[in-house]
Structure 1
Amino acid sequence: MQRPEAWPRPHPGEGAAAAQAGGPAPPVRAGEPAGLRLQEPSLYTIKAVFILDNDGHRLLAKYYDDTFPSLKEQMAFEKNVFNKTSRTDSEIAFFGGMTIVYKSSIDLFLYVVGSSNENELMLMSVLTCLFESLSHVLRKNVEKRWLLENMDGAFLVLDEIVDGGVILESDAQQVIQKVNFRADDSSLTEQSVAQVSLPRLILLFWNFLPRALTTSCCDS
């Protein structure tokens, strides 16, 4: 069950107005305080994941809904979150009606954002998986320099953990295996293309050689 503080507050007079209008009163579920409704559970747990440097500048970010539809709004949100969290020892913050879990590493701050009624442990499992997976990809150097040099790998990691706000994986070992498989598959594809292209390139080159040069070589 969700935390009581996460339940939406009823509008004043909502139940009374419905009764006076002759309409049916909102259904009350077992264990739910009168006049309140539990929010339906959703697979879309994650609103955003972003990584900032120790000055609050964005290095990596993905937003999964339209809470902050423009880049300007996203950057303002990230700056406010950084100002609120960068000087505290806590790992959880509540800001703007959202639950935010975060972790710092050398000169990086990693954030996972969910709605106010999301389970903090669920969000923290995503954050832990992200950090451990990045630690493997960056060879245990989870810092700005190595992240910038391996940004493609970082996005691969994030895409294996969250897709469209849905948590796909929270086990770092599984994420690492999938990322390695995709990297190996990409390398194999590039190698195969090179192996196929080279003979074709030689053939094309030979076909377009001046016939005079070919005849000269044969005569000699």
Structure 2
Amino acid sequence: MQRPEAWPRPHPGEGAAAAQIGAPAPPAPAGEPAGSRLQEPSLYTIKAVFILDSDGRRLLAKYYDDTFPSMKEQMAFEKNVFNKTNRTDSEIAFFGGMTIVYKSSIDLFLYVVGSSQENELMLMSVLTCLFESLNHVLRKNVEKRWLMDNMDGAFLVLDEIVDGGVILESDPQQVIQKVNFRADDGGLTEQSVAQVLQSAKEQIKWSLLK
């Protein structure tokens, strides 16, 4: 049985155009020709990072802007992304005006989301750093049950890589050193536990509302 087609990957230099298919372009200011403006460079390159299980259920997620302001919108987006990517061998997708890079590991799917104009290699460096750092924290067992047992460490890893949408670190060794330092210094307590509990509460609340 032929597997579903992945999102078509545009030729180099056409990522922005492909990602914008189906989405109206913002209007240019009065008196200014359409398409004459270039997007301002920004440090806020990451829109979201999330990890889903093999059924598309959220295990860990952080959103860094208001593209999806509600839990309902976030989880609908995650479900849509999962349905488009879980049976493909690709590593990149263009969808809804966004660039998404992703990687699977046993029963986990890791996603990094940026805008359509973001450099794919930069997003991929974040994804690779996340995976390699988790590989160390989870003792080379990047799978659901190990992630669930080490969720506080996973949140620390993510916080060392991305802060508020800004990429802080893309070197796994540096991330691991910082995570170990924070753990030894007692940093793996109140904040991380609170994040895990809040994420779990939101997940349960949304599941009950469905």
TM-score (norm: length of structure 1): 0.73
Change (3 A) 1:182 1:98: same
- Partner of residue 119, structure 2: 119
Q: Deviation of residue 3 (structure 1)?
A: 3.9
Say yes or no: does 1:186 pair with 2:196.
no
User: Is the Cα contact below 8 Å between 2:52 and 2:58 reproduced in 1?
Assistant: yes
1:58-207 correspondence to structure 2 within 5 Å: 58-186=58-186
User: Over the residues paired in the alignment, what is the CA RMSD in angstroms?
Assistant: 2.3
Say yes or no: does 1:51 pair with 2:51.
yes
User: Is the Cα contact below 8 Å between 2:15 and 2:94 reproduced in 1?
Assistant: no
Say which is worse superposed, 35-44 or 92-101, in terms of deviation: 35-44
User: Is the Cα contact below 8 Å between 2:106 and 2:142 reproduced in 1?
Assistant: yes
Unpaired runs of at least 5, structure 1: 19-24, 27-33, 190-220
Which of 1, 6, 28 is matched with 2:16 structurally?
A: 6
Aligned residue pairs, count: 171
Q: Deviation of residue 37 (structure 1)?
A: 1.4
How far, CA to CA, are the matches of 2:154 and 2:95 in structure 1?
A: 26
Change (3 A) 1:10 1:168: closer
- Greater per-residue helix proportion: 1
Q: Deviation of residue 35 (structure 1)?
A: 4.4
Q: Deviation of residue 36 (structure 1)?
A: 2.1
How far, CA to CA, are the matches of 1:63 and 1:148 in structure 2?
A: 20
Moved over 6 A (4+): none
How far, CA to CA, are the matches of 1:5 and 1:172 in structure 2?
A: 27
1:203-214 correspondence to structure 2 within 5 Å: none
How far, CA to CA, are the matches of 1:83 and 1:57 in structure 2?
A: 11
How far, CA to CA, are the matches of 1:148 and 1:10 in structure 2?
A: 41
Change (3 A) 1:3 1:87: same
How far, CA to CA, are the matches of 1:10 and 1:74 in structure 2?
A: 23
